[in-house]
Amino acid sequence: MHALGSRAEGLGSDVRYIPGGEGQIALSIDVSVEGVHFRRDWLSPEEIGWRATASALSDLAAGGAACIGALVALTTPAREPEATFVALMRGVDAALESAGGVVLGGDLSRGDAMAVAVTVVGRGTGAISRRGARAGDGLWVTGELGGSRAALAAWIDGRTPDPAARERFARPVPRLIEGRWLADHGATAMIDLSDGLGADAGHLAAASELALHLELREVPVHPAARVAAEAGSQRPAIFAAWGGEDYELLAAMPPGFTGTTEFELTRIGEFAPGNGVTFTLDGRPVQPGGYDHFA
């Protein structure tokens, strides 16, 4: 079990214990499968491990929780050299370390395709979910969107992605610090951007039983997404809004919130009574256009 990484404390015992404590324990599971969530010719084993873990940690971020660690079930083909899963676990380990966490447990199996199931464990107040936004709340987003889609678009076209775009796809950074900051500063609802702004804004509005209006002019667009969009004669904001897997956070903040933060945070919409999500770009209605991984 040494292959589970240098930070894999306490393995070798079947069950791992963590102290209960006063708050709430946050839990989430995410599975990444070769050919569905990643391709071996796009990502190194280390990046596959990082990305699977970061994607799960992003759920903790959206819950306003701090990371304790993760349990990892790894399936690799029998023909695969041990070096592959050592590298993959190094990526898991690095993503956890960056979040202040450790490997809490693991299981290895052979299987036809490579797959990584990550259960993240954190600690929080339990007060934040995708439900809870109120009419009049602003919709805010961290970071810049569309970088991951720009990388994907390049690979699908058989081109080498822009390095900054590739980094967004291969090594997304879960917004754990930002998530806790937003939770501490009055966020009423939060979700992470895995399906893309267009889709995830809909999840937030539906869970909160409200209507939501987004003005796409305000969407912060990753520079590589701007280049990719313009190369394809698309509007950058639309390219970025219907991207996916940016792992930024989308938060509902009370009306008086000003957005003065030490990280990038942009107001892009507002909740209202009713239901459904509407989009405008420079005030003109835009039809939603979805995104479904690279299936």
Chain contacts with a copy of itself (rule: CB under 8 A): 12-37, 59-60, 62-63, 65, 71-75, 104-113, 115, 117, 119, 121-124, 126, 129-131, 191-192, 207
* Alpha-carbon gap, residue 263 to 241, rounded angstroms: 20
* Alpha-carbon gap, residue 148 to 159, rounded angstroms: 14
Q: How far is the CB of 20 from a copy of itself (least distance, A)?
A: 4
**Measured from the CB atom, is 12 or 256 closer to a copy of itself?**
12
Given a contact cutoff of 8 angstroms between Cβ atoms, the answer to whether 151 and 252 are in contact is no
**Measured from the CB atom, is 62 or 225 closer to a copy of itself?**
62
Q: How far is the CB of 239 from a copy of itself (least distance, A)?
A: 25
Q: How far is the CB of 105 from a copy of itself (least distance, A)?
A: 5
Q: How far is the CB of 219 from a copy of itself (least distance, A)?
A: 22
List CB contacts of 41: < 8 A, sequence separation 6 or more: none
List CB contacts of 159: < 8 A, sequence separation 6 or more: none
Q: How far is the CB of 125 from a copy of itself (least distance, A)?
A: 9
CB atoms within 10 A of CB 117: 17
* Alpha-carbon gap, residue 102 to 90, rounded angstroms: 12
* Alpha-carbon gap, residue 246 to 236, rounded angstroms: 15
The CA dihedral of 25, 145, 252, 174, to the nearest 10 degrees, is: 10
**Measured from the CB atom, is 30 or 162 closer to a copy of itself?**
30
**Measured from the CB atom, is 25 or 164 closer to a copy of itself?**
25
Q: Which DSSP helix (H) or strand (E) runs through 109? A: strand 102-110
**Measured from the CB atom, is 271 or 279 closer to a copy of itself?**
271
Q: How far is CA 156 from CA 68, 112, 159, in A?
A: 36, 24, 7
**Measured from the CB atom, is 25 or 272 closer to a copy of itself?**
25
Q: Which structure tokens are listed for 140?
A: 């805010």
**Measured from the CB atom, is 107 or 230 closer to a copy of itself?**
107
Q: How far is the CB of 129 from a copy of itself (least distance, A)?
A: 4
Given a contact cutoff of 8 angstroms between Cβ atoms, the answer to whether 87 and 127 are in contact is no
* Alpha-carbon gap, residue 179 to 192, rounded angstroms: 9
Q: Which structure tokens are listed for 1?
A: 């079990």
Q: How far is the CB of 248 from a copy of itself (least distance, A)?
A: 14
